[in-house]
Structure 1
Amino acid sequence: MTVISTPLTKYETHYDPTKVLDHPDFRILAPGDASIKDKTVNLACAYNPAHEVHMIAKPTPTAGPGEAVVHVKATGICGSDVHFWKHGHIGPTMVVRDECGAGHESAGEVIAVGEGVTNLTVGDRVAIEAGVPCGRADCHFCLIGRYNACPNVVFFSTPPYHGTLTRFHVHPAAWLHKLPDNVSFEEGSVCEPLAVALAGLERAGVRLGDQVIICGAGPIGLVTLLAARAAGCAPIVITDLFQSRLDFAKSLVPNVRTVCIQKHWTPEETATEIKRAAGGELKLALECTGVESSIRSAIFSVVFGGKVFVIGVGNSEQTYPFGYMSANEIDLQFQYRYANQYPKAIRLVAEGLVDLKPLVTHRFPLEQAVEAFHVAADPSQGAIKVQIQD
């Protein structure tokens, strides 16, 4: 783990959203504004408390000590971005209270470096790790390497911090990861959801030959499928409400077994179908939706002593069958974001063990980011990963 040598307060001039919003170069852009087509403008896409998503112009950043400015080339739209736009919050603390730039799945090219930066040079291609912990020596979680639990973490696109769905972004150089020549900006962007999946597999203790059920064939479920296959899990069953997503899963991993869940099924009935598809015992469930009924189905799907590991994010309050879990020694485990996964994710892609290319199904130029959000939010469009490129 790399600890930032300069305290986070050094970067507050860039991270403080009030300073961004009060800057004379900050503007909300109406559709058709000429600035949207101006390639010199630091164009970005933002949501606000009125549940609007629109284009904004931000001040162009400069690189301070320990920082680099990145021309962001590719940014994926995450389900959390759509949730912040549509619902205005995730949980009780992450609340959209003002204009907030979207995006945290990004890769780009370094165009400037600040004083003291030795790990990067102009022209380097990088993936942006969006969660920047404080890095202070008195922060227990930073010190032990579990920096995703840092209480002072800045996670871009989580209010109040503006995201990386912007043309020019300044970032601590320690949290920019070089991309090998054979890894594209597009793949570098998708390394962020891959990092989520890898954190889940690592914390769940996945081993070669584990029998696994993956609940949900959305972007996180699909990238978890790719990672589980690379880890040697067999057999793998994946579930979803939509047959089209299950068909997509089979195009990625032809021998994956699928269960198309019917809405009238009880969790016990869903579990019966999962076990039938598996053809045997399942030791581990990787739950990628966060939906209570899906977690309950996963609980009934695993054997005595099995584990349900929840990667997805759901409602703050949920109910589970305590008695059944207790009598069957079923572990229920969770994760919060990720830590120490980006280098691994990049290696897996560069070595060809995980192919992220098929996951990007829709591409939009930065100028059409609002349209991209509407496609990402509409299940009928059939999008897996919508990406915005500049």
Structure 2
Amino acid sequence: MTDTLPESMAGVRLPGNSTVEPVTVPVPVPGARQVLLKTKASSICGSDIRAIYREHLGHGAEAYQGVIAGHEPCGQVVAVGAGVRRMSVGDRVVVYHIAGCGVCEECRRGYEVGCHEPFRAAHGWQRDGGHADYILVEEDSCILLPEPLTYVDGALVSCGFGTAYEGLLKAGVGGRDRLLVTGLGPVGLATAMLGRALGATFVVGSDINEGRRQQALDLGLVDVAVAPEDLDAAVAEATDGLGCEVAIDCSGNASARHGALRNTRAWGRCAFVGEGGDVSFAVSDLLIHKQITLYGSWVTSVRNMEDLLEQLVRWQLHPEVVVTHRMPLSEASRAYEIADSGEGGKVCIVFDEDGE
């Protein structure tokens, strides 16, 4: 244990109806194989907005249980429970935000996100998340945050950048590929950044929001950023009419998903990463006759997240460059309003100067 901890802490819950509820709750005590973190940064994910903040839409894995919000936390170990073997007080930690049963096939693969057992609980959904001064996590959910990555970098990796990386790995992006990213929200920006780092030779981005398109260009993450109505022409110009070897939809929008498939080159690869919604398309014309491989990709594994952190150091990349708003927990309501507006990039709640 570290120095004496406070008995209570500030946090926020999401009761629905686009509201944020400040609460004061006890500081948890770590049990066996558990770790208590002092939260340093906790970013807001589009899934929080879509399925919890506006209204509670989810069931199963997305069922919100009235817990402390926030499934993208990063912090520093301040206390450990009995049997903890890898983590020590003072360690900087990224949290894989789903704790599974540990023994099913998906958990043994490292994809606790796919666990279907009653033990499965995601931070910010079924167990308390990162929008509080402290967060209690399982030791096997902890990944060491390497220097020189910041706590904000780590928070973004814990879901959004990890999700982007997984989709790119499934699609096998490399130096022979031109990449199309539909939806330039935070996950789309992450996909563009990491796709270029993996070797994509040309990156086309598309989004309905002009501000997001400009942000992607200003950060140098894409070579071209266009509105959806200009997408086909932009891809045709960039690829001599062939289409991109890889397309990744990060929007969850039916039209954008269709655009991603439509602009994937014959024998290319397309991945759907954005959650929610649906899509209808001519299967023979867009998939079978073009011999496209279509992937569904959900979050990532513990191992791939650990690998991503290592690669970010080697690539000298900082995910935090996509953050446009850093706000204290006391301004969580405003932070969610900004995230809901879709006008900026990533919104992150930071707890002290170390979150920077």
TM-score by length of 2: 0.89
Measure the CA separation in 2 of the matches of 1:277 and 1:221: 19
1:142 is aligned with what amino acid?
A: C
Contact 1:292–1:314 at 8 Å: present in 2 too?
Answer: no
For 1:335, which of 297, 303, 318 is the aligned residue? Answer: 297
Tell me the equivalent position of 1:300: 262
Contact 1:103–1:163 at 8 Å: present in 2 too?
Answer: yes
Contact 2:68–2:124 at 8 Å: present in 1 too?
Answer: yes
For 2:181, which of 214, 239, 259 is the aligned residue? Answer: 214
Measure the CA separation in 2 of the matches of 1:76 and 1:199: 19
For 1:85, which of 16, 28, 53 is the aligned residue? Answer: 53
Tell me the equivalent position of 1:94: 62
- For 1:101, what is the secondary structure of its paired residue? coil
| Alpha-carbon distance, 1:284 to partner | 1.3
Q: CA RMSD in A?
A: 2.0
Tell me the equivalent position of 2:144: 178
Gap runs ≥5 in structure 2? 1-5, 352-356
Measure the CA separation in 2 of the matches of 1:91 and 1:206: 33
| Alpha-carbon distance, 1:147 to partner | 3.3
Contact 1:298–1:308 at 8 Å: present in 2 too?
Answer: yes
| Alpha-carbon distance, 1:135 to partner | 0.8
Measure the CA separation in 1 of the matches of 2:275 and 2:19: 23
1:155 is aligned with what amino acid?
A: A
- For 1:71, what is the secondary structure of its paired residue? strand
| Alpha-carbon distance, 1:253 to partner | 2.0
1:238-279 superposed Cα distances (whole Å, 9 cap, x missing partner): 111122212211222266122222xxx4xxx74233322444
1:295-346 superposed Cα distances (whole Å, 9 cap, x missing partner): 111111122222221111121x431221212222222221122112221121
Q: 1:363–1:208: structure 2 CA closer, same or farther, 3 Å change rule?
A: same
Measure the CA separation in 1 of the matches of 2:338 and 2:298: 27
In the alignment, is residue 150 of structure 1 matched against residue 118 of structure 2? no
| Alpha-carbon distance, 1:280 to partner | 4.9
In the alignment, is residue 322 of structure 1 matched against residue 287 of structure 2? no
1:272 is aligned with what amino acid?
A: A
- For 2:260, what is the secondary structure of its paired residue? helix
2:335 is aligned with what amino acid?
A: A
Q: 1:291–1:91: structure 2 CA closer, same or farther, 3 Å change rule?
A: farther
In the alignment, is residue 70 of structure 1 matched against residue 40 of structure 2? no
Which is greater in Rg? Answer: 1
1:15-36 superposed Cα distances (whole Å, 9 cap, x missing partner): xxxxxxxxxxxxxxxxxxxxxx
Gap runs ≥5 in structure 1? 1-38
Matches within 5 A, 1:196-275: 196-253=163-220, 256-261=223-228, 265=229, 270-275=231-236
**Aligned pair count?**
339
Contact 1:257–1:278 at 8 Å: present in 2 too?
Answer: no
Matches within 5 A, 1:274-293: 274-281=235-242, 282-293=244-255
Measure the CA separation in 2 of the matches of 1:254 and 1:205: 19
- For 1:341, what is the secondary structure of its paired residue? helix
In the alignment, is residue 309 of structure 1 matched against residue 241 of structure 2? no
Measure the CA separation in 2 of the matches of 1:171 and 1:257: 41
| Alpha-carbon distance, 1:209 to partner | 2.3
| Alpha-carbon distance, 1:232 to partner | 0.4
| Alpha-carbon distance, 1:285 to partner | 0.6
For 2:320, which of 343, 346, 357 is the aligned residue? Answer: 357
Measure the CA separation in 2 of the matches of 1:179 and 1:93: 26
Measure the CA separation in 2 of the matches of 1:286 and 1:299: 9
> Percent sequence identity over matched residues?
24
Tell me the equivalent position of 1:190: 156
Greater alpha carbon shift after TM alignment, 277-286 vs 165-174: 277-286
Measure the CA separation in 1 of the matches of 2:336 and 2:59: 21
- For 2:266, what is the secondary structure of its paired residue? coil
Q: 1:50–1:211: structure 2 CA closer, same or farther, 3 Å change rule?
A: closer
Measure the CA separation in 2 of the matches of 1:131 and 1:151: 12
1:149-169 superposed Cα distances (whole Å, 9 cap, x missing partner): 2113321122x3332211111
Q: 1:254–1:375: structure 2 CA closer, same or farther, 3 Å change rule?
A: closer
| Alpha-carbon distance, 1:100 to partner | 3.1
- For 2:309, what is the secondary structure of its paired residue? helix
TM-score by length of 1: 0.81
Measure the CA separation in 1 of the matches of 2:106 and 2:60: 23
Tell me the equivalent position of 2:354: none
Measure the CA separation in 2 of the matches of 1:130 and 1:208: 31
In the alignment, is residue 116 of structure 1 matched against residue 83 of structure 2? yes
Q: 1:99–1:52: structure 2 CA closer, same or farther, 3 Å change rule?
A: farther
Measure the CA separation in 1 of the matches of 2:136 and 2:59: 28
Greater alpha carbon shift after TM alignment, 326-335 vs 78-87: 326-335
Contact 1:237–1:278 at 8 Å: present in 2 too?
Answer: no
Tell me the equivalent position of 1:162: 128
Q: 1:272–1:300: structure 2 CA closer, same or farther, 3 Å change rule?
A: farther
